[in-house]
Amino acid sequence: MTAPPTRSRIKVCGLTREADLDAAAAAGVDAVGFVLYAPSPRAVTPVRAAELARRLPPWVTPVLLFVDEDPAAARAALEAIPGSMAQFHGDETPRQCADSTDGGRIPFLKVARIPLAGPAFDLVKFAGDYPMARAILLDAHVEGYGGSGKTFDWSRLPPSVAAHLVLSGGLTPANVGDGIRALRPRCLSLAVDVSSGVESAKGIKDPGKIHRFIAAVQAADGLQRA
């Protein structure tokens, strides 16, 4: 018997507007991300994130992105949005991640910022350092934190990682299928995370690009014809 296709979960990050949130949810994403990091051009306040999250239908997970946030402030933001997850994008230690999520009671992702050049990143060790993380999100190590449109060299990752991975960093409808095929055999499960690749301007999502991105993921998963 042939095994059923594996479905890659999809997150669209950096949402700032109701129309974009509604478009992403209607297109069938699994999660949406709100950036709670003031220097980002896609930043929203915790109050605004909660306001937007209330529009989400059931089964779409709100994810709050933090960069070296005070654990008490991060925990308060997460507790204000029922069913939310955290995404730690800075230099947070395992203890800081735990303190921000009530000892891991609130699920979280930890971001591994993969260098564009230089020595290979030890993803196996990194994943082992954050055993409470639900998944490790892979992003390109660039100035700033995410949303740069830069892609790192996927071939430099280890051949096997005993972790759930989320691929991010410069994904578009044109390359996400290649990323899925390159990484899925290396991990327990794979999700993809897109921001700039489905935008018409920073913080402004394009519904057509969102639909094309999802179609490309489904094609790579074998759930529809490319």
- Catalytic residues, by residue number, are 13, 139
Helices (runs of H) and strands (runs of E) counted in the chain: 7, 10
Nearest of 216, 140, 224, 212 to residue 181 by alpha carbon: 216
What does the alpha-carbon distance between residue 98 and residue 35 come to, in Å, rounded to a whole number? 20
The C-alpha angle 214, 79, 67, rounded to 5 degrees, equals 65
Instruction: Give CA–CA dist 100/92, Å, rounded.
Output: 10
CA–CA dist 160, 80 (Å, integer): 37
